Chain A
Amino acid sequence: MTDERAGAAHVALVVLLVLAHFTFRPLFRDIPIRPDLLVGGLLLATLRLSAGHAAVLGFTLGLLESAIGLEGVGSLSIVYALIGFLAARSRDLLYADAARFAYTYVFIGTWVAQVGTALALQVVPGVSFVLLALGTAAVTAVVCGAVAASLDRVWAE
């Protein structure tokens, strides 16, 4: 796959995950361990964005999430902007051009985002929440990794 096609596939994947998040949000919301496609999309976007652009994207997604959920206007934007910025700055530590690194990267990023979101929404993250967040991070990593791998394969053909 050429770099241009890889870039297009990457943008398509991120857009797909974000659209899926906002479309299927009510279905996912009541499931304790669910894929966080918004954070997954943001983290995958940070693989190709500069830290500044990742922060802007995080801010925008945080604002949309707070508007649709009616909670955390401003505070969610801070969390998502920082997640985007820090993920883009730290991807070299966690990510390499291999699938298992993508899974690890999304897993760690999602877990941090879950805890950050809970704090922004003034939910006290107890032990059960931390464990559920680990489950959510794992599911997000699997779903986003699988979607990324399938999209990669489709575009490579």
Chain B
Amino acid sequence: MRDIEKGRPRQQRRDILFAVAVVSISVVLSSLSIPSKMVVTRALRNSVLAPFLSVHQTWQERAGLRDRVARLQTERNELSLSVITQAALAAENARLRSTLGVPLAVPDTFVVVELVPGRPIIGDSHSFLVRSGLDSGLDAPVGVGTWQGLVGVIRSLGATSGYGDFWTHPDFRVGAVVEGSDATGIVRAQRMETGEIMMLLEGVPFQSTVADGSTVVTSGEGGIYPAGLRIGTIAGSADTATKSGWSRSYIVEPGVRPGQTTVVLVWVRNDG
């Protein structure tokens, strides 16, 4: 730290040129489309940053091992119960369809992929990477979720990885319906006064009644998300008592929060 005056070139014009050049490159980078940004990000993550990411992954796997085992056991028990219930329902459904002469519905298909959430040094990430299992003819944009609910949307897909936004992203929107009601609307992220991010169901027709605790699912409109994927549950009205107009808004407790899952299901659109 001594002798700092030595070896300091004072070529101000060259310095300014360097600075202008790198700031210009940065401006170009920041204005690139998501797929182009992903190319840069992927190249750096697969080269210079690969050793660090490998270390992080090892730590993450070891640190959360006990919690993950406990969570997996809980999930397995819940899924077992669900499968038992669903099996009886499926049999009854098949019998009724057969009686009525209606063909069996084709269930949605999903691909299991690994999700790597973004971790900016300040604030929360609204973005994620997905890896593996992407060789199944997927097209972006496409919704991703877990059995617990909607996670987000993949915006761009490469050969081995994809880049997407969590539902907390400011640009995220999804068409929704409330189960057991005729209420429909659009769901987006909403930061509450406490700082917590919840979902907001907007544009629900004024005459529709929605009870607290009702389940909100995707409507399937637009073909990005499968119909019937759970989004969350109604936590209360977002309108004031004197609200009037054509529509209502509701706060929705999300089914899945970013960071809660590292494995997601990507919907495979049945274009046929």
Contact = CB atoms under 8 A, between A and B. Distances in A.
Contacts of A71: 118, 120, 123, 125-127
Interface residues of A, number: 58
A73 B120 contact: no
A3 B3 CA distance: 7
B19 interface: yes
A111 interface: no
Interface in A117-149: 117-118, 121-123, 148
Contacts of A117: 121-122
Interface in A65-79: 65-75, 77-78
A56 interface: yes
A19 B221 CA distance: 47
A22 B49 CA distance: 8
Contact of A74 (B14, B16, B30, B60): B30
A70 B11 contact: no
Given A68-B52, A70-B117, 4 more contacts: A52-B15, A81-B19, A81-B23, A121-B123
Interface of B: 1-4, 6-12, 14-19, 22-23, 25-32, 37, 40-41, 44-45, 48-49, 52-53, 55-56, 59-60, 116-123, 125-129, 163
By Cβ-Cβ distance, the 10 closest A-B pairs, closest first, are A74-B30, A70-B118, A52-B18, A74-B29, A52-B15, A123-B123, A77-B26, A67-B44, A59-B22, A51-B15
